[in-house]
């Protein structure tokens, strides 16, 4: 096992070093081996308590974090906006402080407000893990994306990754840009100019507005859905036009000499950002990304919550 992270929180990939990313990925691969054992459970977090605070909908992130915590033998509780005293006017901060008073080791937070996990982390001694904050970051999604690329292609350095779709409103795009660039990958962005603003070049990504140029010689195509819940205004005329000019189609991929991995963080709006028939592409690894999400979240919980900071083995 790699030496642990010396961090209380995981709020984003922007501040992580390449060494820390390597540690998290290496441990995720070890956790994946645990998940392939007949008994997929280790006692690493026995006696620890993880609180999930999801104030936005989630299928993959929430269930894989919960499964990861259970695989590590932690106790878990859930606080949501629809079934908590938030409905009676309690603030998110008061909610955190009250639950924290019960003895929590880590909060996993998803919220529509960018920066909320950072704010909460200043008010608790527990670890805070960002499970997606507004348009800011979704660090564990980018980690599982990087794990999947490394697993499939054997490396991240030098890999050409095209992220296609609504980049402007995407926390997944931002975390992937930070993480992939640190690991030596090339990151290309493609979509309508309204959804791929030039500022993204300042982060080190290359912007393309021509789909054929964007796809030339890529190793990975990562689709992103239009983040309708964050759209304020009109960014393209109609879905039909969006689909015509910006969707990734089997025809686009058939024209390429080298067949790229096809990825998507989900949920996929099939027939909008990706043609329905992409689901049948032999390089579609979307569900393998989901599988790796459990291992990545086990790695993050292990490093932040176990309190074990030195070299050690994962034992059962
Ligand atoms: N990729 C992702 O964050 O999916 P969920 O919204 O289902 O968690």
pLDDT at 65: 98
- Residue 312: the pLDDT is 54
pLDDT tens by residue, 192-210:
999 999 999 999 999 999 9
81, 176: one domain? no
Atom of ligand 1 nearest to the CA of 57: 6
Pocket probe mutation, ligand 1, options 52, 53, 54, 60, max atoms within 8 Å of Cβ? 60
176 with 248, same domain? yes
Residue with the nearest Cα to atom 3 of ligand 1? Answer: 61
pLDDT at 3 over 60: no
β-sheet bridge partners, residue 200: none
| Domain-embedded: residue 11 | no
CA-nearest of 110, 6, 69, 137 to 293 is 69
Q: Flag whether 12 is in a domain.
A: no
Q: In this structure, is residue 5 part of a structural domain?
A: no
Residue 4 belongs to some domain of the structure: no
Show Cβ contacts of residue 132 under 8 Å, excluding neighbours closer than 6 positions: 56, 58, 61, 110, 111, 138, 141, 171
- Rounded to two decimals, what is the model's pTM? 0.95
The answer to whether position 267 is within a domain reads yes
Q: Are 191 and 281 in the same domain?
A: yes
Using CA atoms, how far apart are residues 97 and 120, in angstroms rounded to an integer? 9
Residue 9 falls inside a structural domain:
no
- Residue 165: predicted pLDDT: 96
Q: Is the CB of 60 under 6 A from ligand 1?
A: yes
Q: How far is the CA of 60 from the centre of ligand 1 (A)?
A: 5
Looking at residue 228, its pLDDT comes to: 80
- Please tell me the distance between residue 313's alpha carbon and the centre of ligand 1 in angstroms: 31
- Give yes or no for residue 266 CB within 6 A of ligand 1: yes
Cα 40 from Cα 195, distance rounded (Å): 42
More confident site: 172 or 228: 172
> Does 71 map to a domain?
yes
Q: Where are the beta strands (DSSP E) in 36-159?
A: 49-54, 75-80, 106-111, 127-133
Same domain, 254 and 155: yes
Examine the domain organization and report whether 295 and 276 are in the same domain: no
Q: Are residues 88 and 150 in the same domain?
A: no
Domain containing residue 201: CATH number: 3.40.50.1370
What are the strands of the beta sheet with 49-54, ordered from one edge?
A: 75-80, 49-54, 106-111, 127-133
Q: What is the tens place of the pLDDT at every residue in 168-199?
A: 999 999 999 999 999 999 999 999 999 999 99
Question: Mean pLDDT of all residues in the chain?
Answer: 94
155 and 101: one domain? no
**Is the beta carbon of 78 within 6 A of some atom in ligand 1?**
no
Residue 316 maps to a domain: no
Cα–Cα distances (Å) from 315 to 28, 177, 236, 290, in that order, read 15, 34, 53, 25
Helix (H) or strand (E) holding 104: none
The CA 171 to ligand 1 mean position distance, Å, reads 11
Co-location of 163 and 73 in the same domain: no
Q: Does 143 share its domain with 236? A: yes
Residues 39 and 70 in one domain: yes
Question: pLDDT per residue over 31-84, tens digit each?
Answer: 999 999 999 999 999 999 999 999 999 999 999 999 999 999 999 999 988 889
Are 305 and 210 in a shared domain? no
**Rounded to whole angstroms, how far apart are CA atoms 202 and 188?**
13
Q: From the CA of 266, give the closest atom in ligand 1.
A: 1
270 lies in the same domain as 154 = yes
Whether the bond into 267 is cis, omega within 30 of 0: yes
Domain count, the chain: 2
List 164's β-bridge partners, or say none. Answer: 190, 223
Q: Is the pLDDT of residue 238 over 60?
A: yes
Domain that holds residue 192: 139-286
Q: How far apart are CA 45 and CA 239, in angstroms?
A: 46
Q: What is the pLDDT of residues 79-137, one digit of tens each?
A: 988 889 999 999 999 999 999 999 999 999 999 999 999 999 999 999 999 999 999 99
pLDDT band for 12, please (50, 70, 90 cuts).
very high
Atom of ligand 1 nearest to the CA of 132: 3
Question: Do 55 and 81 meet the contact criterion of CB atoms below 8 Å apart?
Answer: yes
For 256-278, what is each residue's pLDDT tens digit? Answer: 999 999 999 999 999 999 999 99
Probe target for ligand 1 pocket from 64, 225, 265, with the most ligand atoms within 8 Å of CB: 265
H/E stretch holding 191 reads none
Binding site membership of 58 for ligand 1 (Cβ less than 6 Å): yes
Out of 229, 267, 296, give the residue to mutate to test ligand 1, the one with the largest number of ligand atoms within 8 Å of its CB.
267
């Amino acid at each position: 096992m790699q030496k642990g992270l010396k961090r209380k929180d995981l709020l984003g990939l922007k501040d992580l070093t390449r060494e820390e990313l390597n540690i998290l990925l290496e441990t995720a691969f070890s956790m994946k081996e645990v998940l392939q054992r007949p008994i997929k459970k280790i006692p690493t977090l026995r006696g620890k308590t993880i609180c999930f605070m999801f104030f936005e909908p989630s299928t993959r992130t929430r269930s894989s974090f919960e499964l990861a915590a259970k695989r590590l033998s932690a106790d878990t509780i859930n606080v949501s906006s629809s079934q908590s005293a938030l409905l009676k006017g309690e603030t998110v901060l008061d909610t955190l402080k009250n639950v924290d008073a019960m003895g929590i080791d880590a909060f996993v937070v998803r919220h529509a407000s960018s920066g909320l996990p950072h704010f909460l982390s200043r008010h608790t001694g527990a670890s805070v893990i960002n499970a997606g904050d507004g348009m800011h970051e979704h660090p564990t999604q980018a980690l599982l994306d990087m794990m999947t690329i490394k697993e499939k292609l054997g490396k991240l350095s030098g890999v050409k990754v095209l992220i296609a779709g609504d980049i402007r409103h995407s926390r997944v795009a931002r975390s992937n840009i930070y993480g992939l660039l640190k690991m030596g990958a090339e990151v290309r962005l493609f979509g309508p100019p309204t959804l791929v603003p030039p500022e993204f070049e300042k982060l080190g990504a290359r912007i393309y507005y021509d789909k054929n140029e964007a796809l030339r010689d890529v190793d990975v195509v990562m689709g992103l859905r239009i983040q309708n819940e964050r759209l304020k205004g009109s960014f393209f005329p109609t879905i039909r036009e969006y689909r015509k000019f910006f969707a990734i189609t089997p025809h686009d991929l058939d024209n390429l000499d080298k067949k790229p991995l096809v990825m998507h963080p989900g949920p996929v709006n099939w027939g909008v950002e990706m043609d329905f028939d992409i689901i049948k592409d032999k390089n579609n690894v979307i569900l393998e990304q989901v599988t790796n999400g459990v291992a990545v979240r086990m790695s993050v919980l292990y490093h932040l919550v176990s309190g074990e900071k030195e070299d050690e083995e994962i034992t059962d």
